[in-house]
Structure 1
Amino acid sequence: MGKRFYYFLLCTLTVSFLFGFAFSEKENKKADQNQKVDQCFTCHKEIDNLPKDFSENDIHRHANLSCSSCHGGDPNSDDQDVAMSPSKGFVGVPKRKDIPKFCGKCHSNINIMRVYQPRIATDQVEQYYTSVHGKKLLAGDENVAECSSCHTAHSILPAKDPRSSVYALNVPNTCNKCHGNSSLMKNYNIPVNQLEEYSKSVHGIALLKNKDISAPACNDCHGNHGATPPGLKSISHVCGTCHVSNMEFFNATRMAKAFEEQDFHGCEQCHGNHGVQKPNDEMIGVGKESKCTDCHSEGDKGYNVSKNIYSSLTKLKKEYDTANAKYLEVRQKGMNDVEIGFQLQDAKQALIQSRTLIHTFDSVKVGAKVKEGIEFSNKASMLAQKEIDDYSTRRNGFAIATLAFLVFVIALYFKIKDKEKKAS
């Protein structure tokens, strides 16, 4: 009985092994069939004729899409006539004017994109033809940007990949390939110093120097596939994508309507476009750096409003700075700074809100918020001064106590010496 059992077990294991081996071979053959050699790539590599921008990291290559997926033909044949036969759907290199629709064969097909990138938009080509680039391409101008101008052709990477030409940090330089080309831009009467200005701006420094990818690049203001210069009515809305309160305050004023009537471009009129600098209080008021005096002269209502707003802001800033200096002194001395910190936070918030309220062009509204900030600053200053005074009192008290103790010790010393002398 025992031998029969062992023979049965041995036979079972042998059959299982052979069956598994056969199944594995079958699966390997199936995998080999599914992963046939791409003859397009093989031939072009052998004759050293791969596209100049070819990269093994291309997103399409990683998705197992071959050359024929875009260019057509038969990737399984090593016969050039067969592989590149029109009967096999070979189209070769598309004409520049056809590239958007060429890419759109897949990128505008929601059923195809669901397989590879379910969440990606499928209206990029439609958007492109609403852009300045797209309209000019349709009109026959082949100097304008199309898909491969920004994304490249054979080294396309996801936008979130730091190596990608459309990664946030790389967008300014990608756009500058064309927009920094003076010979190309002269036909459109477009300046070529945008990148230079942007690099020195508050946005450019945040993005390019500080590597803050939340900072706006070219596409955040102009758009991506539907890129176009912001229009007269859209400027404040474009900036308002980030600066929401500023936009809402400005659009609710009479100034917004006046700007439109004068063909002034909202935010850009005071802050500029590509070279936006960090704003400061000197931009309001009537000093040398004032933007208000570009339009308002001494004696008119706008001039006086600007002067009053500046006066209010500088007063709050002075009170806040005074309180903050005392707060730092309290912390240095190791005294209780918790409540002072809370008051200063409220004061700082009031200062920020006061500066935002400048866009209402209403000195009363700004003044009311400034008043709140001054009250918080004064309370913080008062609490800080109390802690500083307490520190001085404690320090003086400690000094007096130390001196008294020292006198006591000296007196005790002499008393002991006197007793020892009498005892001897």
Structure 2
Amino acid sequence: MSTAPTAASCTPSTSPSAGPLAGIRVVELGGIGPGPFAGMLLADQGAEVIRVDRPAEAGTASKHPILHRGRRSVALDLKDPAGVEAVRAVVDSADALIEGFRPGVAERLGLGPEACLARNPKLVYGRMTGWGQDGPLAQAPGHDINYIAVAGALGALGAADENPPVPLNLFGDMGGGGMLLALGITTALVSAARTGKGQVVDAAMTDGTAVQLSLIHGLLAVDRWEDARGVNLFDGGAPFYRTYRTSDGGFMAVGSVEPQFYAVLRDVLGLGDDPLFAEQHHRAAWPAMGERLAEIFAGRTREEWTKVFDGTQSCVTPVYGLTEAATHPHNVARGTYYTDNGLLQPAPAPRFQGTPAATPSPAPMVGAHTREVLEEVGLDVSAIDALAPKG
């Protein structure tokens, strides 16, 4: 697959108002990680997202050029009463707000949900935290690894005889955080459209991580999962659902779970008559099966194994790195990744046939739209000029 074509461009629409959320205005109060990811998801689908940045960074390029795409940026000091009042004016015009401070900080700034909803009753107020708005750890610091540890996900990852691995920040920050918040905000927007009343969305990464474990908890409840690492069907315990190193240091991902795919795996590897592999779910044989498969895969390069399994209906695929994945023919054909001004990035997802998303605009310079936005929401020129020296 090394000669695959390059990443495609995002194709559906170039209109800045395209997408199913066109006409929705969202205010994003700074933040890092999951909050901006939620803002990106909403902006990708057509929402107008206005990010409130720090004045000290005004005029600089975004430090997160993909997470901050599709936005406008205003630079306002949230510790200055005049800056807070300007933010309130922008929030008054919004359908939703995203904030990712520790519980109580937004209230102390005068931008908490009670104050904002009093002025804009239809506002959907989205709160993004690790631990949630209440509970013993609500005020404790933490990161993705801590949230998924306490929620139970980290303890389920990795081999039985090794420490739990440090995963990418997908369980907590992205899936259990930003994506959960985006779902919460869009759900609450539907409710607000029907009832005329906004509400607070409390999105906690611990909660979101726990929800993602629903299938595993279901299997545990019916005795199809052990509460231990590396001994189960989807945690690397099964020899037919794990990765194997190839002779060139690459890896192949084997996901031959269903019996028909397992049968193809055996046939392709010449194991159809091997008694060790006769019973797929004979767990006592799994360690020996895994060792044998490791020996086999170590005998060829990743490229060679890719060609061997291509078109075999076996659920065996090569393992790609970040940039290499964008060149895979399937990802190219679907436009899963695209390049904008040399910056490789994922295209908006999911896809809507009736209201396709536009190609996201690049992340703006910090504060590039301060005057423009404040004029739109009705601040007079003198008030805007007074804020100018501060950002």
TM-score of the superposed pair, with normalisation by structure 2:
0.25
Higher strand residue share: 2
TM-score of the superposed pair, with normalisation by structure 1:
0.24
Higher helix residue share: 1
